Structure 1
C-alpha cells in the first residue's frame, strides 16, 4: 500500500520512469532525465495524480460521439518516440499536434536554451490548454501556434527535428520541405490498417526509415483516407482498406457465411509475445493486406474469430477473404500459455488466400525482430525511380515498404 510520501508527484513520476526503462525505452540519459524532470501532472490538471503517472493515455478532449480528439499520450510511447527522434542540444524542433503541451516541454528540455521548439495544432482550445500548461511549468519560450499542422510552421523552418503526435495517413509536402537535410522526422504513419511510429532521415528527395515501431494515435483531422464496409447484414464485422486498393465491398458482403478454410502455420508464440510483425511484413509483400474488426457477438457466434477481434490483418481479393487467427496449444515447460498462428479463408479463393497468409507467418517466424525499411517519395516520382519493395500510393507520397 502506498504511503503519503509514495504518492507524491515526485515518487509517482520516478515510478513511471522506472517502468518506462524496464520496457526498454528512454535509452539515453538525456531522455530519462527529461522524463524525471518535467511534471506530467501539471499538464493534465483534471486527472488524479495516479492517473497522470500511469502508463495510459489521458484523454483531455472528446468529440460528441465520445471519440478522443486530444490527449496526453501513453508515457512508454512518448519515450519511445523521443528515442527515435534523437534530439540534440541546440536543435530547432517542430511538433505537429500540441496536445497538453507535455511533449513540447520534454522537447524543450532536450534541446536546451540554445534550441527552439514550435508546436502546432489546428484546435484553438487545444493550443490554449498547451500554452497554459507550458507557461505554468516554466516553458514560456516554447512557441505555440494555432494552424493546420499539415502546413507545418514555415516561419521557423528549417527544422532539425520534426515530430508528429497525431496519427497521419500521409506525409504532407511541407513536412519534408521544412526538414533540414539529414534531419529526422518521427511520425505515427498509418497504412494498410495499422499504425507505426516511423523515424525517417531526410535523404535528398526522399525520406528513409531507420526505426519502425508499433503505436496508436488519435488521427489527424482531415487526413483520413481509410475506407470501410460491413461484411454482414447485422453489421458485426467490418473491413477497412486504403483508398489505393481495388477492394469491392459489395462483392465481399456475405463472404463470412460461406464455407471456411482453416490453416495452421506451425508457428508458436508465447502468451505475452507480440505477433504484430506479421502484419507489418504483409504490408511490404501482399498488396491485398487490409484490416478486419469483429464485434464480440461475431466472435462468440463463430462468424469471425480473428486473432485480435478489434484489429487483425486480412487479405482481400475479389470475392474472397482470409484473416489471421490463432488457437491455444499446450503450455511450455514453465507453464506459460502458448498459441499457434493460422489463417481462416472464405470465398472461392479463401483457401489459397489463407495459405498465402500462413506463408507470411512462416517468413515472420524465421526472423521475428526484423523491421522492414519504409521509404517515402513525392507523389510525382516515376515508377522506375521507386524500387525495392511494395508501393503504396497516397495523396502526397509514394510509400515503399521493403520487407
Structure 2
C-alpha cells in the first residue's frame, strides 16, 4: 500500500495526513515526534517539479540530478525510508545533528525533531544540490538549517561534536571524521554497503569504534568524492551484470557469460524462505566468493535469469561458474522453500556451499535483528576473522546470534 494509491484527494495537507497514517500502519513511523515531523513539513515544497502522487507515495523517490550516464546522483528519498532512518536515529529536542547528503526535506524533518533549541547542519559535495536545498528550505520556512558545500568524507568539524550524524547516501566506508565528530553517547545512522549489499545501520560509540543498535533494508545513491566505492562490474551480456567490491572474487566476463548458456541447474535446500533482507545480509557475509547478480526485466522474462535478480541477488562465483538464490512454493517449509540456480562446470560445488548457508540461516538465524555489526577503525589484523570485511578506514565485523 502507498499513501497516494488509496487516497481520493489531491490536496497536499490531506495527502500528508494520509501519508503519516500509512507510515504508521507499515511501522515505518513508531513514535510521536517522527509522526509530528512528517505531519508538519510540506514535502511537496521540496520537489515542486514533481507530481503530488509521486511526492507523497510511500515508496517512490523523486529524481533530482543525473550524471552523464543517466544514473541518479541525487534523489529525494522515499518517505518510508526516511521515516525508518529517523526512527533509528532517536533524535531528541535540543540536539546538534549533522546530515551528510543534502536534499532539503530530510533536513526539515530533522529541524522539526530538534526544535528551536537544536541545530541541524546539512552538507553535500555538489553545489547544485546545496543551492537547491537552500532554496527549498528557505521557501518552506526552515531558514535556520545550515547548508554547507563540502565533501561528506570530511564531515563538518567546525560544528562538532554532534549528537547524531545521519548519512543519506550509500557509504562504502566510515571515515575517521564521522567517529571523531560524534559525541560519546552519540549515534551514527548510515546506509553502509558491504560486498554490494546496503543496510541502514544505527551505530553507537563503542570505545574507538562503533556497534550497531539496529539495521534495516535501504537503497541509496552512492557517495561521491573521497568516500566513493571502488566496485568492479562485469557486463555479461545486455541486461546481465555481476558486480563486487571484493578484489579476491574472479570476474571472468567471457567465462561467466558462457556459463549462463549452459544448462540451468536447480538445487533445493528443504529450508524455509522468508525475510529476504535478513537472509541476503547473512549470505553476503558468508559466501566465500561473493558478488551481486543483476538482471533486467527483459532477461528475466526470457527465463534466462530468475526473478530474484531483479533488484540484485547475492551470487557465488568461480572463474567459470555462478550460483544464486531462488525460491519455490512449498507448504512443508511454511509457504516457500529456498533454493539455488547454478550454471557452469562448477555448478554443483557452488550450489553445495550455497545450500549449506541457506540451511544454516533457516535453522539458526531466521528472525529479525539476529546480527550485530561492529566497525573497528584502524589497521586490519594480518588474518581477518570470519564474517569480517576489510575497508579503507577499518574493518566491518558481523556476528549472528
Q: Which residue of 2 aligns with 1:113?
A: 116
Q: Which residue of 1 aligns with 2:77?
A: 73
Alignment of 1:158-173 (within 5 A): 158-173=161-176
Q: Which residue of 1 aligns with 2:390?
A: 393
Mapped to 1, the partners of 2:287 and 2:86 lie a distance apart of 31
Please identify, of 254-263 and 151-160, the stretch whose mean Cα deviation from structure 2 is larger.
Answer: 254-263
In the alignment, structure 1 residue 182 sits paired with structure 2 residue 181? no
Is the CA contact (8 Å cut-off) linking 2:214 and 2:369 kept in structure 1? no
Aligned equivalent of 1:61, options 61, 65, 78: 65
Mapped to 2, the partners of 1:66 and 1:363 lie a distance apart of 40
Q: Which residue of 2 aligns with 1:213?
A: 216
Alignment of 1:350-361 (within 5 A): 350-361=347-358
In the alignment, structure 1 residue 320 sits paired with structure 2 residue 337? no
SS for the counterpart of 1:7 is coil
Q: Which residue of 2 aligns with 1:92?
A: 96
SS for the counterpart of 1:134 is helix
In the alignment, structure 1 residue 46 sits paired with structure 2 residue 49? yes
Q: With structure 2 as the length reference, what TM-score do the two structures score?
A: 0.90
Is the CA contact (8 Å cut-off) linking 1:326 and 1:341 kept in structure 2? yes
- CA deviations 1:272-310 (Å, max 9, x no partner) are x54222210112322322201123443344432252334
SS for the counterpart of 1:187 is strand
Q: Which residue of 1 aligns with 2:367?
A: 368
Summarize the Cα distance change of 1:332–1:281 in structure 2 as closer, same or farther, 3 Å threshold: closer
Q: Which residue of 2 aligns with 1:377?
A: 376
| Offset, 1:151 | 0.8
Is the CA contact (8 Å cut-off) linking 1:283 and 1:390 kept in structure 2? no
Alignment of 1:2-401 (within 5 A): 6-55=9-58, 56-99=60-103, 101-222=104-225, 223-231=228-236, 234-250=237-253, 252-269=256-273, 274-305=275-306, 307-329=308-330, 338-366=335-363, 367-383=366-382, 389-401=386-398
Mapped to 1, the partners of 2:166 and 2:127 lie a distance apart of 20
Mapped to 1, the partners of 2:256 and 2:72 lie a distance apart of 31
Task: Please tell me the root mean square deviation across aligned C-alpha atoms, in Å.
Answer: 2.5
Mapped to 1, the partners of 2:378 and 2:355 lie a distance apart of 33
| Offset, 1:107 | 0.7
Q: Please list every run of at least 4 consecutive aligned residues from structure 1 whose deviation after the TM superposition is greater than 6 angstroms.
A: 330-333
| Offset, 1:268 | 4.3
| Offset, 1:66 | 2.5
Mapped to 1, the partners of 2:11 and 2:302 lie a distance apart of 48
Please identify, of 253-262 and 20-29, the stretch whose mean Cα deviation from structure 2 is larger.
Answer: 253-262
| Offset, 1:330 | 6.9
Unaligned 5+ residue runs, structure 1?
A: none
Mapped to 2, the partners of 1:143 and 1:28 lie a distance apart of 26
| Offset, 1:68 | 1.6
Summarize the Cα distance change of 1:236–1:79 in structure 2 as closer, same or farther, 3 Å threshold: closer
- CA deviations 1:204-254 (Å, max 9, x no partner) are 1111111111110111113022211133xx444221111443324255442
| Offset, 1:103 | 0.6
Mapped to 2, the partners of 1:148 and 1:266 lie a distance apart of 48
Unaligned 5+ residue runs, structure 2?
A: none
Q: With structure 1 as the length reference, what TM-score do the two structures score?
A: 0.89
